[in-house]
Amino acid sequence: MKLHAFGARGSLPAPSTAGFNTSKYGGNTTCYYLEAGPFQIIIDMGSGARPLGDYLLKKGENGKPFIFLLTHYHSDHIQGIGFCVPFYIKQNTFYIHGFTPEGRENVDPLKNVVLQALEEQQASPYFPVPHGLLPANKRYRAHNRMFSEEFYYVEKAGDFLYKTESDIQDSHSFKRDKIIKVTTVPLHHPNGCLGYRVDYMDSSLAFCTDNEPFAFTNNKINNLCKDVDLIVLDGQYTAEQLAGLTQTFGHGNPELCVDQAIDCNAKRLLITHMDPGHDDKKVTEMEKTCIDYYTKKKSDTLKGVEFVKEGETWEV
């Protein structure tokens, strides 16, 4: 698998200005692209969805299906959907996954709640193009925000077929390079949030941003993301910030990310969701402090820690 970062900023975009440089780590909000054999997976569509769309067009990725794993509905994770050109190409198909927000369990059962949430952010007068009118084919699935679920996609004749855990009695009955497994990971964040674990062939990746740890690491991450090759975690604040007014905002700090990665036996850690008030100098300081902390932990399993830089790619 190959992971590309198109946006690693949290809360809102942070462009470089005079005396405030963000060019090293990037200023776009969360958007990642995962290539796994025939599967094309997008994780969140913050403002980084615009350069992602440009990248896909240059690659000639038209008329193809995409799996879109949406962690939650806060604006920094969905604000780029209307600016992502592949949504305007009718030959494309997006299989969009989200969760049922609290209080919407019984709202309009004829319309998927994921679709409802995305329609609201693109409704007049907030956006000129309604979400439902984006020409690409769109399919929506809502998951439980409190309990983990497993699902699969099987590649067949250039399309992706959704399969539940009960549909797959034996994943080995499928060609290994034609099936991918996704596990949802409930996270601690205001209004709810899902992390995702993706298993393909012999590789695994966990994406668990927008999670605020309690006194101990998140046991759901420890259990559901156990032994992953690469884990992406939220280290938005410094330890001092997280001990102050930013408590309950739903984010972590880099040192807690290291603890989490070690506790779930991950092999590599990427830290994402940088604060918009932190310029490159500040984030570099946080990265150095984090690496020093990681070095002192002397983990036998965690082999590397780094902060995400927009535009980078990692082999998984």
pLDDT tens digit sequence for 97-132: 999 988 777 666 556 889 999 999 899 999 999 999
Please say whether the beta carbons of 142 and 100 come within 8 A.
yes
Output the average pLDDT for the chain.
92
What integer pLDDT is reported at residue 181 of this predicted model? 97
Least confident of 22-26, 111-115, 246-250, 308-312: 246-250
Least confident of 25-34, 53-62, 169-178, 192-201: 169-178
Among 60, 54, 80, smallest CA distance to 68 is for 80
Q: Give me the domains of the chain, ranges plus CATH numbers.
A: 2-311 (3.60.15.10)
Question: pLDDT band for position 239 (50/70/90)?
Answer: confident
Model confidence at 33: pLDDT above 90: yes
Averaged over 189-215, what is the pLDDT?
91
Averaged over 291-307, what is the pLDDT?
93
